[in-house]
Amino acid sequence: MENERQARDEEAASEMHKRRITLDDGRYLIFYTFDGDDSSAVPQSTSASSQVEPQAAPSAEEERSV
Amino acid sequence: MSELRWHPLLGEWVATATHRQARTHLPPADFCPLCPTKPGGFPTEVPEATYDIVVFENRFPSLKADPPAPDVEATELYPVRPGQGVCEVVLYSPRHTSTLAAEPVEQIYKLVQVWTDRFRELGALPFVDYVFAFENKGEAIGVTLHHPHGQIYAYPFTPPRVARELEQSRAHNDKTGRCLLCDIVAEERRDGRRVVSENESFIAYIPFFARYPYEVHISSRRHLQALTDMSVEEQRDLAALLKAVLVAFDKLFNLSFPYMMVLHQRPTDGQSYDYYHFHIEFYPPLRTATKLKYLAGSETGAGMFINDTLAEEKAAELRGHFEEVVWRKPS
């Protein structure tokens, strides 16, 4: 059971890839990508949540970072 | 400057981070710093034209891996230590107007995998004792960037809220030999009135002791302590139940529902926490479509929450807004 779970986890882990870069100010940034993925370019899902109005666009007063 | 100051009355650390006051403000509305950098466009935090999920170090962190020495002298009464840790931002999607609720369940499953990776990587750092993933969503919470994102704080200590849960869990285990959260899940399933949804691996409920009207907790049905303990099926089930809860939240008042979402996992300080149990807690500030639950004198000054609603009634209300989660590709 444990071995099966570990094998599945390893299989899943192999589907995720990390690419780490260093920004100009020395901070790191990691791009995560996934094998066989076709969802990132697809607009949001058709569930009921798509009926919800998006929140208002940020105003000029908003912070640049978090 | 950034440092940790000891609060002797409460016995906990307070982070000072004065540089955060200087956070840059964004002039035009369409210059989101969390969007991809468009060709010829202004440089955002992400220097590429698209991405799937991105994690980066916060530009204005309250904790840093290599922090400066504290600016103030410590005393016996007032210990001070460097603000050592990591503060990361997690971008859920390149789509600016999206939310986690609006993302497909496949994207939420990717996020679960990224959270797991960050727990593993940050938790392995020698100066990190606790990895805390969370999301603040909505202006009611104070968020000013609407691009879908969360954050991860890697603390050099176990934060007080989690430490108290650990103490309670350990005391219950010492007394009964059982896991406290396993018992809570069993009690909620036995009663049933506060359960809002469940699948093979996880259950969502507004607990008996909820402090906020729509305070949903998501707990694993199996006794485990962290994302890294989960099987692939459990991680997929977690993504599916998260999606279902988030969509129900949005449908509740037909608006993009504000919340704080926090992941409670075991510490990463090398000790054993077999008695603890992974779960996610939501603290939504709305008590009606137009009224906020404020943390006022009793909640903030005394630590006693007053909930104007009954968990049984709010769970029934929320339960009516759940719908089936559909995967594009079956597992």
pLDDT in tens, B29-39: 578 999 999 99
From the list B105, B145, B149, the residue facing A63 with the nearest CB is B145
Token digits of residue B158: 């176990």
Yes or no, beta carbons of B50 and A8 under 8 Å apart: no
Lowest model confidence (mean pLDDT) among A21-35, A43-57, B186-200, B262-276: A43-57
pTM of the model: 0.89
Residue B310: DSSP 8-state: -
For residues B2 and B83, the answer to whether their CB atoms sit within 8 Å is: yes
CA B41 – CA B137 distance, rounded (Å): 27
* Closest by CA position to B67, among listed B161, B3, B143: B3
Q: Which residue has the tokens 């807004």?
A: B321
pLDDT value at residue B304? 96
* Closest by CA position to A65, among listed B49, B121, B33, B275: B33
CB contacts, 8 Å: B101 with chain A: 49, 52
Which three-class secondary structure state does DSSP give residue B77?
Answer: coil
CA B294 – CA B272 distance, rounded (Å): 37
CA B82 – CA B155 distance, rounded (Å): 12
Q: Give bridge partners of residue B136 from the DSSP assignment.
A: B260
Given a cut of 60, whether residue B109 has pLDDT beyond it is yes
CB contacts, 8 Å: B24 with chain A: 63-65
**Averaging pLDDT over each range in B15-19, B138-142, B257-261, which range is the top one?**
B257-261
Yes or no, beta carbons of B33 and A25 under 8 Å apart: no
For residues B91 and B147, the answer to whether their CB atoms sit within 8 Å is: yes
- How many CA atoms, within 13 angstroms, populate the side-chain half-sphere of residue A62? 23
Which three-class secondary structure state does DSSP give residue B22?
Answer: helix
For residues B108 and B227, the answer to whether their CB atoms sit within 8 Å is: no
- Compute the mean pLDDT over every residue in chain B, rounded to the nearest whole number: 94
In this structure, chain A runs to a length of: 66
ipTM for the predicted complex: 0.94
Residue A3 touches partner B, C-beta closer than 8 Å:
no
* Residue A60's pLDDT band (cuts 50, 70, 90): very low
Kindly state the average pLDDT of the residues B90-109.
97
Those residues with Cβ within 8 angstroms of residue B321's Cβ, 6 or more apart along the chain or in another chain: A48, B247, B248, B249, B251, B252
For residues B138 and B258, the answer to whether their CB atoms sit within 8 Å is: yes
Q: Give bridge partners of residue B15 from the DSSP assignment.
A: B4
Token digits of residue A4: 């099966």
Which three-class secondary structure state does DSSP give residue B259?
Answer: strand
Token digits of residue B51: 């991405």
How close does chain B come to A24, measured CA to CA in Å? 10
For residues B217 and B262, the answer to whether their CB atoms sit within 8 Å is: no
Residue A10 touches partner B, C-beta closer than 8 Å:
no
Token digits of residue B241: 């139940």
Chain A residues 27-46 with CB within 8 Å of chain B: 27-34, 37-45
pLDDT value at residue B133? 98
CB contacts, 8 Å: A39 with chain B: 104, 106-107, 328
* Closest by CA position to B53, among listed A31, A45, A34: A31
Token digits of residue B159: 């934060």
Q: Looking at per-residue confidence, does B73 or B24 come out higher?
A: B73
CA B134 – CA B16 distance, rounded (Å): 20
Amino acid at position B81, single letter: R
Helices and strands in chain B: count of H runs, count of E runs: 5, 12
Crossing angle (nearest 10°) for helices B232-252 and A2-15: 60
- b/e per residue B19-28 (b: at least 16 CB within 10 A): ebeeeeebee
Q: How many CB atoms sit inside 10 A of residue B57's CB?
A: 19
Q: Report pLDDT digits (tens) over B233-272.
A: 999 999 999 999 999 999 999 999 999 999 999 999 999 9
Q: Which residue has the tokens 């999920």?
A: B53
CA B119 – CA B131 distance, rounded (Å): 6
